[in-house]
Amino acid sequence: MTKKFSKTIMVTGGAGFIGSHVIRLFATKYPSYHLVNADALTYAGNPENLKDIEANPNYTFEKADITDEAKIFELFEKYAFDAVIHLAAESHVDRSIMDPLAFVKTNVIGTVTLLNACRKYWKDKMDGKLFYHVSTDEVYGSLGEEGFFTEHTPYDPHSPYSASKASSDHFVMAYHDTYGIPVVMSNCSNNYGSHHFPEKLIPLMINNIKNSRPLPVYGKGENVRDWLFVEDHARAIDVIFHKGRNGQSYNVGGFNEWKNLDLVFLLCRIMDQKLGRPEGTSAELITYVKDRPGHDLRYAIDATKLNKELGWSPSLQFEEGLEKTVDWYLDNEEWVKHITSGDYQHYYKDQYEQR
Ligand code: NAD
Ligand code: TYD
């Protein structure tokens, strides 16, 4: 019997921001791969993000919580996955400060549950299998004014979010060393682009500028982040998935550092132009608010290894990417409205549960 698909891949967290871009890229670029999106649809998961590809014959959605061992094992039995691309996570630092345990549950216990499934179902034949763990540069902690994070920078997480991601990274490498599970990992800088939940800096500011609401800048706005267009991250995941060396981690970043305040001013300028407002109008909305506790000063990624070994580099200039992003938010008011009103949570019911 010939197999219908050349590879069956579980993508966890595919209804989220980055996961939806990864699924879209893989499902369209590799019609012979079967992508199974395993997502619990928390507040951050929105199946509308994949509306354009949900009818593709090589895409399947499975509502699944990665901490639910019975469900995860059931999916491994049902689909006999060749690979896992693991993106599901609690991902917002501010929420991790309010409720750290939720981050331990999904990011640590969820990751270990997936690794246990790989251990159980792949034990007779690890060859050709792959567990790809998508992680963050925040595990490295905070830089001063100088220097970059490399793959050799010691882990030094400061927020409950980054501590949970660091722990999951260690488990992935421990399962590779102990049980021989083939793994690759990437640690990426801050992403921006379409379908980004408007609790994170860039989509929150776009939404507030549009609605002439205050723009809350933490502290003095001096913290620095290294921004990468989300589709470039998805391209990096594609390259690392196919060509990354077993047991290795790769840093992914945009070589694109911005102070928060400068970034907010740039967004204000772009949006004044797009909305036909006199220059300087939106910047008047900037409001300095209490700083985030334990706020990391600066992140900056050295992505030389990924560039030299696998030939990846970012494709977009930041201003171009930001303009594209602003345009997407202005053209997709319904998406933002659904998210902010909570209506998107009905979408799953309408779309899947009544079938
Ligand atoms: P997101 O919050 O937008 O999406 C997370 C997805 O995971 C959602 O669809 C949610 O429903 C799902 N999920 C959460 N808990 C789950 C559970 N217990 N079981 C199953 N599904 C669950 O996150 P994102 O920004 O797309 O980030 C994806 C991954 O990339 C995360 O692992 C994050 O740590 C990492 N990352 C993010 C960034 C960034 O800038 N956003 C940068 C580097 C790395
Ligand atoms: P965020 O998008 O939450 O990403 P992360 O904390 O994972 O880097 O925040 C990016 C930066 O913007 C961070 O330094 C915190 C700051 N920030 C604000 O100043 N105001 C806000 O309303 C938010 C959400 C973030």
Pocket test for ligand 1, best of 10, 12, 17, 36 (most atoms within 8 A of CB): 17
Q: Which two tokens stand for residue 72?
A: 């995860």
Note the pLDDT of residue 349.
62
Average of pLDDT values for 283-312? Answer: 97
Banded pLDDT at 353 (limits 50, 70, 90): low
CA distance 81 to 61: 14
Residue bearing the CA closest to ligand 2, atom 17: 201
Atom of ligand 2 nearest to the CA of 292: 15
CA distance 261 to 12: 34
Tokens 């689909």 map to which residue? 79
Banded pLDDT at 338 (limits 50, 70, 90): confident
Query: Is pLDDT of 59 > 80?
Result: yes
Per residue in 258-270, pLDDT tens?
999 999 999 999 9
Tokens 């002439």 map to which residue? 212
Active site residues: 137-138, 161
H helices present in 191-259, as ranges: 201-210, 230-243
Average of pLDDT values for 164-179? Answer: 98
Residues 6+ apart with CB under 8 A from 182: 126, 129, 130, 131, 176, 246, 247
Q: Is the CB of 201 under 6 A from ligand 2?
A: yes
Structural contact between residues 101 and 148, judged by C-beta atoms closer than 8 angstroms: no
Pocket test for ligand 2, best of 218, 233, 256 (most atoms within 8 A of CB): 218
Q: Which helix (H) or strand (E) holds 331?
A: helix 318-331
- The pairing of strands 183-188 and 190-192 is unpaired
- Kindly identify the ligand whose nearest atom is closest to the C-alpha of 251: 1
Note the pLDDT of residue 1.
45
CA atoms within 13 A on the CB side of 70: 0
Q: Is the CB of 134 under 6 A from ligand 2?
A: no
Q: Is the CB of 223 under 6 A from ligand 2?
A: yes
Average pLDDT, the chain: 95
Strands (DSSP E) contained in the chain are 7-12, 33-39, 59-63, 83-86, 130-136, 183-188, 190-192, 215-218, 224-229, 248-252, 257-259, 286-289
Instruction: Please give the distance, rounded to the nearest whole angstrom, from the Cα atom of residue 282 to the centre of ligand 1.
Output: 30
Q: Is the CB of 87 under 6 A from ligand 1?
A: yes
pTM over 0.75: yes
Query: Is pLDDT of 157 > 80?
Result: yes
CA atoms within 13 A on the CB side of 154: 1
- Kindly identify the ligand whose nearest atom is closest to the C-alpha of 132: 1
Note the pLDDT of residue 350.
65
Q: Is the CB of 91 under 6 A from ligand 1?
A: yes
Structural contact between residues 106 and 41, judged by C-beta atoms closer than 8 angstroms: no
Candidates 269, 254, 260; CA nearest to 316 is 254
Domains and CATH numbers, the chain: 7-192+228-256+294-318 (3.40.50.720)
Instruction: Please give the distance, rounded to the nearest whole angstrom, from the Cα atom of residue 330 to the centre of ligand 1.
Output: 24
Q: Output the CA torsion 264→269→274→276 (10° steps).
A: 130
- The pairing of strands 130-136 and 183-188 is parallel
Q: Which two tokens stand for residue 35?
A: 């992508």
Banded pLDDT at 3 (limits 50, 70, 90): confident
CA distance 90 to 301: 22
